[in-house]
Structure 1
Amino acid sequence: MEECGSIEIAKNNNPVRLRCAVQNYDWGIVGNNSQVARLFSLNSRSSIDSTKPYAEFWIGTHESGPSFIHHGAWIRPNHAVSLKSWISQHPGVLGDKVVEKWGVDLPFLLKVLSVEKALSIQAHPDKELAKALHKSHPSVYKDDNHKPEMALAITEFEALCGFISFKELKGVLCSVPEIVELVGGGNAKQFLCVNEWDGSEKGKELLESIFGELMSASNDATREMVSKMKRRLNREKKKRKLTVKELLVLRLESQYPDDVGVIAAFVLNYVKLNRGEALYLGPNEPHAYISGECIECMATSDNVVRAGLTSKQRDSQTLLSMLEYKQGFPEILRGVSLTPYTTRYLPPFDEFEVDCCILPRAASAVFPSIPGPSLFLFIAGKGTLDAGLSKEDMVEEGEVLFVPAYMEIRVTAESTELQLYRAGVNSRCFKDL
């Protein structure tokens, strides 16, 4: 063992157990119904507050929710060593390629989200904008990194993501009079006259103008239009079946009355993920999570630019200026089967990939040695973990491990089902090694 402060820490060629952070944002699922609450309780050995929302379980090195090394008995906070600090003392655990590309820090952040109420219409800045925002408003934008991310559903999961297609937007402008009234009829009429095949650039310019007018509307005008829309839909549902988007908008209005995000939902894609499906989001893409629980992985950042469906600070003008205004339904990832028990999700980002492994009793899975670090999260069941040590370690729901580069891991289920997730650097980064 090696001393670090007053704590014994496993040598850096062993997996390291972590104690992780929780975020109690008001959109989280309350009490024992929250997967985040259960995982945090088991991980931290603390009780669940049945009245409190549990929104996010953070695993990584970001200062807004750092993980800490755990060895043996629970460590008092003032004696704890953060994962980031430990990595800085043992950079070899990252592997040379990761240190060369990202420095001495974990390039990805792993989370579990429990979403009861919609969270903000938002986008994440690219690296250039992140640096500028952090420099000018460090208390709001707390780091200078970009934040591409992926949400992998562990229950049915709902989200808004990206702008609806050219054809769908024409339908919205014809069927939602409140949007036309709120943004003014000029742009709407121009958009309706544009040919989809001949005027893509013109259509993009008009979409930008329409969305900009919508998100910049005064509070009074927004309140009036949301109220008018609600009254209209409540009348119409007595005569016809409302569309999925109309029902969603009424649900959002019940959560965020008078919010411009309620009407903005009409121009964003509504996405429903089944368990095991994933959605990825690059920089400058508008999105909002609506409900459900997911594994979320991203570059190590907490930069969020918000403009609707939130009680937090909004920065509508920055959001409007950063969006790319691409239209069309987002790609849904269903993963690539690596073994009968393990599925890999590979987004188009270098910083991360995620493996989902579900083992029946007595089955084993081997995670081969790779040139980068991994985070292992166990969310159900129990089993054993063999990292080539003198004895196997027990693992169970709520356990989180940091696994250094170049370490093979074997996990065997001892319960009816053992479910775990592994996050690591995208394997394409190591193809030239």
Structure 2
Amino acid sequence: MKEGAEKRKKNEPQRLRCSVQNYDWGRTGEDSKAARLFFLNSGLDIQQDEQYAEFWMGTHESGPSFVINDSKVRDSDSDFKSLKSWILENPSVLGNKIVKKWGTDLPFLFKVLSVAKALSIQAHPDKEQARTLHKLQPTLYKDSNHKPEMVLALTEFEALCGFVSLEEIKNVLHTVPEIIELVGDDEADQVLHVSELSGEKKVKAVLQSLVTQLMSASESSISETVYKMKRRLNMQKKVRQLTDKEQLVLRIEKQYPADIGVMIAFFLNYMNLKPGEALYLGPNEAHAYISGDCVECMATSDNVVRAGLTSKYRDVQNLCSMLTYKQLQGSLEILRGVPLNPYTKRYIPPFDEFEVDCCILPQGKSTIFPTIPGPSIFLVTAGEGIMQTDSFGETISEGAVLFVPADTEISVTATQGLQLHRAGVNSRFLYDN
């Protein structure tokens, strides 16, 4: 059994060498799962004083993967052919449905995130907005695609996702007086006097006005009111138990002092995912990941509109105008996976571009991933095993990433306890159309 088959056939799994992103919110050195996977995947050294945030697997130009189809060790990515180029030369590996819908590119982007501190308050544009943003600001918004996404927790994973209920937003205004200082009594009264009976359009307009006022406040007033809020909560925690949200806000303030995102956090749902739980977000939904390691899958895009908890460009006008302002409390669906067999669960979001399987295979056990009419990317997140097809066999271990063409049955046997994740096109799209 060869470790790297020489000039593999295009219909066989292809090993990938993948990319890493060193954003300042990432975990440092060996503490980062993204760094460990990158090191094992590429053979490059981990820099112990550097933040490793995201391990990318796919075809996006901001973090491309490369096909390694021989056993020769090479020094740089320039020595390999990109997965995007290889697919362009071999479009049949995607399957007819995928080519007809998305052309000769992989419709999903697969990642592992290692989050040490909060990501920016952000949202991802829908397709129409993405086209407009890319046309107007191509250096900032680097593609014209939308970016629905799903995170699957590898460890305990914290996130802020979508707006809380209107009732809770009103409670925030009653209990966080510093917010009223920022927006003024008239703006606060509009929110306090609106109700669900006013209609969705009216509620959205009132919330949009409130959030825009907050986001547009002057730096000096934000700094002053965030400091007041912090001082008040630190005093109150001496006499009462702070709520989970209040404790979170104080944590975020330490990471991003005098940032308006600290105040916005009061209006967003605070989610705690356990390992094996997943959460998906559509376009134009406000969110910020807080801490933990996760697998993430999304449509192939890197468009992020930010307006808080970041040192990067803050596009307040676009973010405030694009958000849905839907109250997602109670409707945020936690996916726990649909069992496919004793070892594998499938996480299926309501987006055509992707789904994710998680397989935990005890030592000595085997399982099969049946043929599907679309491509897959397999990532080994722990352990070791053997991957086989009718014409291919290879040892796989933590950090291995393989592109598997459409219509390829995969058999996997664990030689040690094995955990792997598969990203592929959504089964509902593949079989319901």
> TM-score range with shorter-chain normalisation?
over 0.9
- Pairwise mapping of residues 83-162 of structure 1 onto structure 2 (< 5 A)? 83-162=83-162
2:104 counterpart letter in structure 1: V
How far the C-alpha of 1:290 sits from its partner, in A, is: 0.4
Instruction: Trace 1:303-322 onto structure 2 (pairs within 5 A).
Output: 303-322=303-322
Match of 1:179 in 2: 179
Tell me which residue corresponds to 2:73: 74
Q: How far, CA to CA, are the matches of 1:22 and 1:257 in structure 2?
A: 28
Deviations 1:159-218 (A, max 9, x none): 111001011111111100011111111122232223334554433321111111111111
Superposition pairs of residues 209-220 of structure 1, within 5 angstroms: 209-220=209-220
What do the CA deviations read for 1:240-269 (whole angstroms, capped 9, x no partner)?
Answer: 111111111110110000000001100111
Q: Distance in 2 between matches of 1:370 and 1:195?
A: 48
For residue 76 of structure 1, report the CA deviation from its aligned partner. 3.8
> 3-state SS of the aligned residue for 2:326?
coil
Could you say which residue in structure 2 is the equivalent of 1:366?
368
Query: SS of the counterpart of 1:159?
Result: strand
Secondary structure (helix, strand or coil) at the match of 2:226 reads helix
Gaps of 5+ in 2: none
* Matching of residues 347-386 of structure 1 within 5 Å: 347-386=349-388
Query: What is residue 407 of structure 2 aligned with on the other side?
Result: 406
Unaligned runs of 5+ in 1: 1-6
**Which letter maps to 1:26?**
D
* Distance in structure 1 (CA, Å) of the matches to 2:230 and 2:289: 22
Aligned to 1:336: 338
Q: Distance in 1 between matches of 2:239 and 2:130?
A: 49
Q: Distance in 2 between matches of 1:159 and 1:332?
A: 12
Q: Which residue of structure 2 lines up, in the alignment, with residue 326 of structure 1? A: 326
Question: 2:14: which partner in 1?
Answer: 16
Quote how far apart the aligned CAs of 1:432 are.
4.4
Is the 8 Å Cα contact of residues 120 and 309 (structure 1) preserved in structure 2?
A: yes
Residues 89-109 of structure 1: CA distance to partner in whole angstroms, max 9, x if unpaired?
A: 000000011000000000000
Q: Tell me the equivalent position of 1:296.
A: 296
Decide whether the 8 Å contact of 2:125 with 2:322 is kept in 1.
Answer: yes
Secondary structure of the 2:81 match is coil
Residue number among 47, 50, 61 corresponding to 1:49 in the alignment:
47
Where does residue 61 of structure 2 map in the other structure? 63
- Give the equivalent residue in structure 2 for 1:202: 202
2:229 maps to 229
Q: Secondary structure at the match of 1:312?
A: coil
Paired amino acid for 2:47:
D
Equivalent position of 1:4 in the other structure = none
Residues 181-190 or 372-381, more deviating: 181-190
Aligned to 1:427: 427
Q: Which amino acid aligns with 1:346?
A: I
CA distance in 1, matches of 2:384, 2:325: 46
CA–CA distance in structure 2, aligned partners of residues 9 and 29 of structure 1:
37
Q: What is the TM-score with the length of structure 2 in the denominator? A: 0.96
Q: Is the partner of 2:249 in helix, strand or coil?
A: helix
- Could you tell me which of 38, 41, 60 is aligned with 1:40? 38
Identify the residue that residue 265 of structure 1 maps to in structure 2: 265
d(CA) in 1 for partners of 2:163, 2:351: 21
Deviation at 1:228, TM superposition (A): 0.7
| Contact 2:378–2:403, Cα closer than 8 Å, also in 1 | yes
Mapped contact 2:381–2:398 kept (Cα < 8 A): yes
| Contact 2:6-2:71 at 8 Å conserved across structures | no
* Alignment partner, residue 275 of structure 1: 275
Distance in 2 (alpha carbons) for counterparts of 1:393 and 1:151: 29
- Separation of aligned partners in 2, 1:340 and 1:88: 37
For the structure 1 residues 8 and 139, does the alpha-carbon distance in structure 2 shift closer, same or farther, using more than 3 Å as the test? farther
Deviation readout 1:43-82 (Å, 9 max, x if unpaired): 0012211111110000000000000011312234332100
Query: Partners of 1:190 and 1:46 in 2: how far apart?
Result: 56
In structure 1, distance between residues paired with 2:348 and 2:249:
32
Is the 8 Å Cα contact of residues 39 and 379 (structure 1) preserved in structure 2? yes
- Determine the C-alpha separation between the residues in 2 that align with 1:194 and 1:266: 19
Contact 1:167 1:196 in 2 (8 A): no
Query: Percent identity over the alignment?
Result: 63
SS in 2 for 1:169: helix
Mapped partners of 1:254, 1:74: distance in 2: 44
Q: How many corresponding residue pairs?
A: 425
The equivalent residue for 1:169 is 169
Stretches (4+) displaced over 6 A = none
User: 2:41–2:399: 8 Å Cα contact kept in structure 1?
Assistant: yes
